[in-house]
Structure 1
Amino acid sequence: MTTSKKMLTREEELLLQDFSRKISRKAMIMFYGIALVVSIVPLWLYLRIYQLELESYWILFIIGSLVNTWLVAFGYNNVKFVLKHKIAQKREDAVAKEVLQSLSGQQQSMNKKEKDERILWKKNVVADFEATTYSIFYNNAIFYTMVILGSFYVFRSFSPTLNYLLSVVGSGAVVALLSTGSK
């Protein structure tokens, strides 16, 4: 029996890329940049309210912020992946209608395959954008809620340094954990 390897066409590779977990370099930089800002904001709480000295605890703040940045960015990526396909299914009819209206003058010269490719491309662009923005909003809301609850209520009797580690890094871990769900 002979086995032949099938080479994927360029269109098939692009389609598979849209459904993979791998994110683009641009999205990765955006996720890590936003996650870094989100991770640094709670430092104000510990520098001003708990009156921790930046000079004394800078290594703790850097390590905590970097670990938390990775956890939150991980959460962004997971939630985006889960939501992208759900959003694409919900927006399919509206995007198809919009694309066909924008092509109204060109419809006679285009075949069905070209129309379907444009609709699929536009649907993926819309779903990617909406999933990205919702993922950032959703994870940030959970993270900041957990930081406030952990810092002021759950870990208030702990030392400020332990309070920082448990509430900030713990909140990042909760975000990462919740993002691994499939629904």
Structure 2
Amino acid sequence: MVKATKISKEDEALLASFSNTAAVSSKSATTLFGIMAIAAVAPPLYLLYGINQMDLWENGIILAASAIIGIYALFFAYKEMTQTYKPKVERLREKAIAAELNREFGDDKKITKNEREERILFKKSEHAAKEAAYFSILYNNALFTALCLAISFFIVPSFSASINTIVSVAGAGGLVALFSTAK
């Protein structure tokens, strides 16, 4: 029988940095993703509302449902793509961040080698999470807008305004969420 050993705080921090939720676990990332999803869904929805000359009072529920579906799908896509790209960005930026921190520390004798490595690992993880989140937002917003307009104007232009709105916004959101899960 194997004896259970306690995990140190350093090991827990290292495991947390490699977990799937480490890139998007903070409140700031969640808030950023929510705000950016709203900002990405609103313009195409407003465009469809104006072009289809929809009455806000009659179609408010349809517009709200389309917005909620699109926002949720984009939020999911942001999280998935951030988790996918964070390790790739860490590998790409590892040498540059290590060189920058080594230059910053110089010949500082107060910092041990382990502490220096921990700081490099923390800085690398923090930088990779931010860069992956920003790339995810940019890529998914561009893809969502292009798909929403393509679906609305080329695939379902002859449908009624309410069906066109639901299918284009929800379909674009669903496709973006689907594409974000591919590795």
Unaligned stretches of 5+ residues in structure 2: none
Name the stretch that deviates more: 83-92 or 153-162.
153-162
Q: CA deviation at 1:150?
A: 0.9
TM-score by length of 1: 0.93
1:83 maps onto 2:91 in alignment: no
Return the offset for 1:46: 2.0
**Deviation by residue 1:94-124 (Cα, 9 ceiling, x = unmatched):** 0000000111152x22221011011101111
The answer to which of 168-177 and 6-15 deviates more is 6-15
Give the SS at the match of 1:6.
coil
Within-5 A mapping of 1:107-126: 108-126=109-127
Work out which structure has the larger RCO, using CA pairs closer than 8 Å and 6 or more positions apart in sequence. 2
Amino acid at match of 1:142: L
Q: Partner of 1:74: helix, strand, or coil? A: helix
Over the residues paired in the alignment, what is the CA RMSD in angstroms?
Answer: 1.2
Structure 1 stretches lacking a partner, 5+ long: none
d(CA) in 2 for partners of 1:16 and 1:54? 50
TM-fit CA distance, 1:4: 2.6
Provide, for residues 44-76 of structure 1, a one-character-per-residue CA deviation record: whole Å limited to 9, x for no partner.
112211110111111111111111111111000
**Number of residues of Structure 1 aligned to a counterpart in Structure 2:** 180
Cα separation, 2, equivalents of 1:9 and 1:64: 47
Say which is worse superposed, 62-71 or 40-49, in terms of deviation.
Answer: 40-49
Written as runs of structure 1 = structure 2, the 5 A alignment for 1:21-170 is 21-22=20-21, 23-106=25-108, 108-170=109-171
Distance 2:147 2:119 in 1: 42
Identity %: 33
- Give me the whole-angstrom Cα distance separating, in 2, the residues matched to 1:63 and 1:89: 40
Deviation at 1:7, TM superposition (A): 2.1
Deviation at residue 11 of structure 1 after TM alignment: 1.6
TM-score by length of 2: 0.93
